Amino acid sequence: MKKWLRKWRLASVLAVLALVLSGCGEPFLSALKPAGEVAKQQYDLILFSLGIMTLVIIVVVVLFTIAVVRFRRKNDKEIPKQVEGSHLLEIIWTVIPIIIILVLAVPTVAATFSQGDVSAMDKKDEDGNRENLVVNVRAHLYWWEFEYEDLGILTSQDLVIPTDQKVYFNVESADIKHSFWIPPLGGKLDANPENVNKFFLSVDQDKADDVNNIFYGKCAELCGPSHAYMDFKVKAIPQDEFDQWVADMQNAEEPVPTSELAQKGEEVFNKSCMTCHAVTPSNDKPKTARTAPNLADFGNRETVAGILEHNEENLKEWIKDPEQFKPGNKMTGAYPDLKDDELDALAAYLMELKVSNE
């Protein structure tokens, strides 16, 4: 008996912890803390579905309790009244689930078609320019590329978007299947190598203010040993700040090192890194030639490799042995002969890659 009670208490504690911890989540990474129109609509559907399912559970438990208490067998000699072939009951327990499914289906289907309507992404003004912002998202092993095709801008790992408006996305993959997901902004969308998927997201300015304008995005499709580290950052800013960012990126020129160490680092970069990496945000290369992240404005990024705190020490550790941080990445073994002084110089040069001094 005591052993049974101990197990029951343990199960009760675990159940309470599961309930409490399920409500935990940071606003920059939680789907349960919606920060935009799409996420809010999906969140409302979740609550609506949970409400109906909770009601069903309550009704079933009540009916079960009534049946157990009221119609329990009182003695071994009495045989309960045998009831079978009730057409009324059969109709009731067939019709009720159909009604529940319809109640769930109507708002779900309506939201699906509403959020799947991306016709506005091709609308153009009198000058032939798109009226809405469109970002081409391309997933790689294990990093993200963001192309603002209409603006002539290409970035990696940091997605910058304006708040309080719909932003449309073309999502695809450069290698295997991935999934593009920004939990507080909306559901995930598969990134496939054979086709382009499209959808839109939006961010409310007040929600962006709550997280200092930074949200976290992830790959939501198991894609290899470093799937869990395939992160990116989303910087959601007001329209005027976004316009300034666009102007800075469009007017960016070839970086000029300011220190002697960084000048030496530029030489190392040109000899060892330039084949794969670019340092300006122009998208003049065809997408098939973009085999490594664009490093424009690297000095202003939030992280190194999407997962490490942004500082020189972490950058040098990443360059020296990226395999220890992201197993299976394509950069492993690229710099086997890099000396310590060259590594210091290269890190100094990369940290100076800033389109604007933020």
What does the pLDDT read at residue 126? 86
Both 303 and 194 in a single domain? Answer: no
Q: What is the pLDDT of residues 110-138, one digit of tens each?
A: 999 999 999 999 898 888 889 999 999 99
d(CA 59, CA 53): 10
Q: Average pLDDT of 62-84?
A: 79
Whether residue 219 lies inside any domain: the answer is yes
- What pLDDT is recorded for position 31? 87
Confidence band of 330 (pLDDT split at 50, 70, 90): confident
The Cα 226–Cα 307 span in angstroms is 11
Does one domain contain both 207 and 116?
yes
**Predicted local distance difference test score (pLDDT) of residue 202:** 96
For the chain, count helices (H), then strands (E).
Answer: 8, 12
How far, in Å, CA of 332 to CA of 317, rounded? 12
Residue 243 forms part of a structural domain: no
Give the mean model confidence (pLDDT) for residues 169-189. 96
Residues 220, 264: one domain?
A: no
Let me know whether 204 and 288 are in one domain: no
pTM: 0.84
Same domain flag for 178 and 31? yes
Give the pLDDT confidence score for residue 14 in this predicted structure: 67
pLDDT at 3: 60
Top-confidence residue, 343 or 26: 343
* pLDDT exceeds cutoff 80 at 206: yes
18 assigned to some structural domain: no
Residues 209 and 331 in one domain: no
CA atoms of 185 and 305, how far apart (whole Å): 23
Same domain, 95 and 208: yes
Query: How large a percentage of the chain has pLDDT more than 70?
Result: 89
CATH number at residue 286: 2.60.40.420
For residue 252, pLDDT beyond 90 = no
| pLDDT for the residue 176 | 93
Task: Determine the pLDDT at residue 273.
Answer: 87
Segments forming the whole domain that contains residue 178: 26-62+88-237
What's the total number of domains in the chain? 2
Which residue in the block uniquely carries the two structure tokens 């000899």?
271
144 and 93 share one domain: yes
For range 184-207, the mean pLDDT: 96
Q: What is the mean pLDDT of the chain?
A: 88
Asked if the structure places residue 250 within a domain, the reply is no
**Boundary residue ending a domain (205, 237, 269):** 237
Contacts of 312 (CB under 8 A, 6+ apart): 347, 348, 351
Same domain, residue pair 296 and 193? no
Q: How confident is the model at residue 8 (pLDDT cuts 50, 70, 90)?
A: low
Please compute the mean of the pLDDT values over residues 133-153 and round it to a whole number: 95
What is the structure's pLDDT at 207? 95
Tell me: pLDDT of 5 over 60. Answer: no
Rounded to whole angstroms, the Cα distance separating 291 from 305 reads: 15
For residue 191, the model assigns a pLDDT of 96
Same domain, 147 and 293: no
Q: 65 and 248 in contact (C-beta within 8 Å)?
A: no
Q: Is 114 within the bounds of a domain? A: yes
Total count of residues recorded for the chain: 358
Beta-ladder partners of 308: 304
Domain assignment of residue 78, yes or no: no
For residue 177, tell me if it sits in a domain. Answer: yes
Alpha helices, DSSP H, located in the chain: 2-21, 37-70, 87-115, 205-210, 239-250, 260-272, 312-320, 340-351
Q: So what's the pLDDT on residue 19?
A: 59
Work out whether strand 197-201 and strand 189-191 pair parallel, antiparallel, or are unpaired. Answer: unpaired
Whether residue 184 is found in the same domain as residue 327? no
Q: Same domain for 319 and 181?
A: no
The mean pLDDT value for 81-85 works out to: 72
Residue at a domain's end among 184, 202, 237: 237
Q: Does a structural domain hold residue 1?
A: no
